C-alpha cells in the first residue's frame, strides 16, 4: 500500500487503512455538531482533501474554492505560488514530483482532523497525539505508507513525511486563528523543526508552508448553513455517507459501497455548500506566511525556536500590527454574524482613532507591548460575535414578523435592518467595546504580560466560559451592550470569567 492507496474516489478514506475506524466514523457516520443539527464533517472532510489538491496545482476552477463574488483571490495566490512551490520542493514540470506532492497533501488533509474523533475542542494536538502515540500498529502502518517505491531502504524519508503530517495535524489551525485576530505571530514559534543548525532551514520552510497550505484548504471547506437547498444537500450527503458506513461496518453488501461513494462525491463537490476563499482571507494568510518566512531567515534567528519567539514578539508589538490584529477581530466577527455593511467601515485608521482615543498615546504603547504576549484568545471569536449582535440589536427595530437570529448570528431580517440605521455609529460602538474588553484583559494580567526581553513569554487567554453558559453570556452582553452605564460591571465580570495560561 502506498500514499495513493489511502484514498478512494479521490476524496475519501479507503477501507482498512491506518486509523480507519476513526476516519470512517468522521467521514461516514459523523457526530452532530449541535443537538438536532445535521452533521457537517461528511461535507467538510472530503472538501479539505479536494481543495488541498487544487491549491497544490493552483487550480482555481475547483468548484467552491473561491467564494462567490470574490475576483482577485486567485491572483493573490498566484503571486506567491513560485515561493510556495520552492518551499515544498515541488517541480510542477516533473510529473512524479507533482503526483507525490499531490498525494501527500491529500493524505495530510485526510488525517488532519482525526482528533475530532475524540473531541472537537483542541482537536489539533489531540489528533497529533493519536497519530504519534495512541495506536503503535496504526502509526507503524502509516509510516510504511509514506515510503516511495524507488526510495533507498536506508533513507528515513518516510519518517520525515510522517512527522510532517503530524505537524500539519497539530498546527493546522494556527494561520486561521492569526488570520481572525484570535492569535498572534508568536504562536508560530510552536511549529517544530526549529534547531540551531541553519542547514535545516529548508525543512522549516517546508513545514510552515505545508501548514499554511492545509490551513487555506481547511478554511475554504468551512460548511455553510442555512437555506433549504443547502440543508437538503447535507441531508442527502449524510444518507450516502451512512450507506458507505453500513457497507463497511454493519454487514451491508460491500458491492454497493462504490455507488454510495460516487453519489457522495457529487454532493460534496456542490460549490454552494462551502465558504470558499476570499481575497482578504488569502491575503492575510499569505502575508503572515511571508512574515514568518522572513523571521525564520533572519540572521539572528538561524532556526532557533527561542530566538524566533523573541523576533515574532518584537514584530507583534508594533502599533501597526496591533491595529491590524484588532481590525481582523472586528471584521471577522461582523462579517460572520451577517453585518457586512458594518465591517466595510472598519479601516485601520478608524481602529487607530478609537484605540488612541480610548487609551491615550502612552497607554496605547504599553498595550501594544503586552497584547503581543497574548498569543491566543482561545474561543474568543464567539464572544466578540455576541458583542456585535448585542450592539446591532440595540440599534435596530425588526419589522413585525421578522425572525430574530441566535446569540452569535443575525437573522436575514436583522441584517436587512442595518440599511436604515447609522452604521458608522454602530461600528464605533463595537470597536470601542472590543478595545475596552481587550484592554481590560491585558490590564488584569499586566503583571505577567509585562515581562520583556529574554524573560518574555507567550500566554493564552481561555474565553470559552464566556459563552458556554447561556445565562452568564446573556447577562454580560446585556450589561456591556444594552444597559446604560453598566459596561464597567461587564468588564469586571469578563475578566473574572476568563483564565490565562503560559504557552512556554
For the chain, percent of residues with pLDDT exceeding 90:
76
In a domain, 15, yes or no: yes
Same domain, residue pair 354 and 413:
yes
The answer to whether the beta carbons of residues 52 and 106 sit under 8 Å apart is yes
In a domain, 392, yes or no: yes
In a domain, 298, yes or no: no
- Residue 450: what pLDDT? 77
In a domain, 299, yes or no: no
Same domain, residue pair 390 and 263:
no
Confidence of residue 312 (pLDDT cuts 50, 70, 90): very high
- Residue 152: what pLDDT? 64
Quick one: average pLDDT of 242-251? Answer: 94
pLDDT, tens digit (0-9, with 9 covering 90-100), for 268-293: 999 999 989 989 889 999 999 999 99
Confidence of residue 363 (pLDDT cuts 50, 70, 90): very high
- Residue 455: what pLDDT? 67
In a domain, 305, yes or no: no
If one compares 200 and 440, the residue with the highest pLDDT of the two is: 440
Domain boundary among 273, 301, 329: 273
Domain boundary among 211, 240, 273: 273
- Residue 1: what pLDDT? 53
- Residue 155: what pLDDT? 66
Concatenated DSSP letters for 39-89?
Answer: P-HHHHHHHHHHHHHHHHTT-TTSTTSBPTT--SHHHHHHTTHHHHHHHTT
Q: Domain range spanning residue 347?
A: 318-502
Rounded-to-integer distance, Cα 325 and Cα 312, Å: 14
In a domain, 191, yes or no: yes
Same domain, residue pair 251 and 366:
no
Confidence of residue 154 (pLDDT cuts 50, 70, 90): low
| Residue among 63, 4, 53 at smallest CA distance from 276 | 63
Same domain, residue pair 397 and 265:
no
- Residue 146: what pLDDT? 87
Same domain, residue pair 237 and 361:
no
Over 90: is that where the pLDDT of 452 sits?
no
> Domains in the chain: how many in total?
2
Would you say the pTM of this structure is higher than 0.85?
yes
Same domain, residue pair 158 and 215:
yes
Same domain, residue pair 256 and 322:
no
Domain boundary among 218, 252, 273: 273
The answer to whether the beta carbons of residues 441 and 329 sit under 8 Å apart is no
- Residue 39: what pLDDT? 85
- Residue 192: what pLDDT? 64
Rounded-to-integer distance, Cα 124 and Cα 215, Å: 12
Over 80: is that where the pLDDT of 381 sits?
yes
pLDDT, tens digit (0-9, with 9 covering 90-100), for 472-493: 999 999 999 999 999 999 999 9
What are φ and ψ of residue 139, in 5° steps?
A: -60, -45
Take residue 187 and report the three cell numbers written for it: 504562536
pLDDT, tens digit (0-9, with 9 covering 90-100), for 334-347: 998 999 999 999 99
In a domain, 231, yes or no: yes
Same domain, residue pair 211 and 324:
no
Over 60: is that where the pLDDT of 194 sits?
no
In a domain, 156, yes or no: yes
Amino acid at each position: 500500500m502506498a500514499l495513493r492507496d489511502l484514498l478512494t474516489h479521490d476524496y475519501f478514506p479507503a477501507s482498512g487503512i491506518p486509523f480507519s475506524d476513526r476516519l470512517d466514523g468522521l467521514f461516514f457516520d459523523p457526530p452532530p455538531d449541535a443537538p438536532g443539527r445535521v452533521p457537517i464533517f461528511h461535507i467538510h472532510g472530503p472538501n479539505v482533501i479536494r481543495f488541498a489538491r487544487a491549491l497544490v496545482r493552483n487550480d482555481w476552477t475547483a468548484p467552491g474554492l473561491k467564494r462567490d463574488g470574490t475576483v482577485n483571490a486567485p491572483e493573490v495566490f498566484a503571486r506567491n505560488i513560485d515561493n510556495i512551490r520552492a518551499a515544498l520542493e515541488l517541480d510542477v514540470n516533473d510529473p512524479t514530483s507533482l503526483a507525490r506532492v499531490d498525494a501527500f497533501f491529500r493524505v495530510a488533509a485526510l488525517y488532519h482532523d482525526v482528533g475530532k474523533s475524540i473531541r472537537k475542542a483542541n482537536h489539533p494536538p489531540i489528533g497529533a497525539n493519536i497519530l504519534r502515540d495512541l495506536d503503535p500498529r496504526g502509526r507503524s502502518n502509516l509510516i510504511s505508507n509514506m515510503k516511495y517505491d524507488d526510495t533507498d531502504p536506508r533513507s528515513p524519508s518516510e519518517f520525515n513525511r510522517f512527522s510532517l503530517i503530524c505537524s500539519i495535524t497539530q498546527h493546522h489551525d494556527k494561520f486561521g486563528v492569526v488570520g481572525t485576530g484570535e492569535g498572534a505571530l508568536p504562536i508560530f514559534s510552536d511549529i517544530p523543526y526549529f534547531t540551531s543548525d541553519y542547514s535545516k532551514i529548508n525543512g522549516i520552510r517546508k513545514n510552515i508552508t505545508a501548514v499554511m497550505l492545509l490551513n487555506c484548504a481547511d478554511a475554504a471547506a468551512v460548511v455553510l448553513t442555512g437555506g433549504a437547498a443547502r440543508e437538503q444537500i447535507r441531508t442527502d450527503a449524510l444518507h450516502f455517507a451512512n450507506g458507505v458506513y453500513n457497507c463497511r461496518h454493519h454487514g451491508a453488501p460491500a458491492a454497493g459501497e462504490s455507488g454510495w461513494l460516487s453519489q457522495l462525491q457529487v454532493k460534496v463537490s456542490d460549490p454552494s455548500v462551502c465558504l470558499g476563499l476570499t481575497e482578504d482571507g488569502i491575503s492575510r494568510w499569505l502575508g503572515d506566511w511571508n512574515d514568518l518566512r522572513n523571521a525564520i531567515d533572519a540572521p539572528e534567528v538561524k532556526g532557533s525556536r527561542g530566538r524566533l519567539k523573541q523576533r515574532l514578539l518584537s514584530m507583534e508589538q508594533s502599533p501597526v500590527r496591533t491595529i491590524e490584529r484588532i481590525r481582523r477581530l472586528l471584521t471577522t466577527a461582523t462579517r460572520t454574524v451577517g453585518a457586512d455593511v458594518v465591517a466595510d467601515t472598519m479601516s485601520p485608521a478608524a481602529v487607530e482613532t478609537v484605540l488612541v482615543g480610548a487609551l491615550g498615546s502612552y497607554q496605547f504603547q504599553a498595550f501594544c507591548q503586552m497584547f503581543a504576549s497574548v498569543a491566543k484568545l482561545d474561543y474568543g471569536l464567539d464572544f466578540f460575535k455576541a458583542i456585535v449582535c448585542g450592539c446591532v440589536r440595540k440599534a435596530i427595530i425588526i419589522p413585525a414578523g421578522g425572525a430574530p437570529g441566535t446569540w452569535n448570528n443575525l437573522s436575514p431580517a436583522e441584517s436587512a435592518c442595518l440599511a436604515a440605521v447609522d452604521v458608522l455609529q454602530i461600528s464605533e460602538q463595537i470597536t470601542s467595546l472590543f478595545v475596552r474588553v481587550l484592554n481590560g484583559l491585558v490590564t488584569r494580567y499586566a503583571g505577567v504580560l509585562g515581562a520583556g526581553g529574554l524573560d518574555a513569554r507567550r500566554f493564552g487567554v481561555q474565553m470559552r466560559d464566556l459563552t458556554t453558559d447561556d445565562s452568564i453570556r446573556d447577562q454580560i452582553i446585556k450589561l456591556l451592550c444594552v444597559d446604560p452605564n453598566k459596561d464597567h460591571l461587564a468588564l469586571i465580570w469578563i475578566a473574572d470569567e476568563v483564565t490565562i495560561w503560559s504557552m512556554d
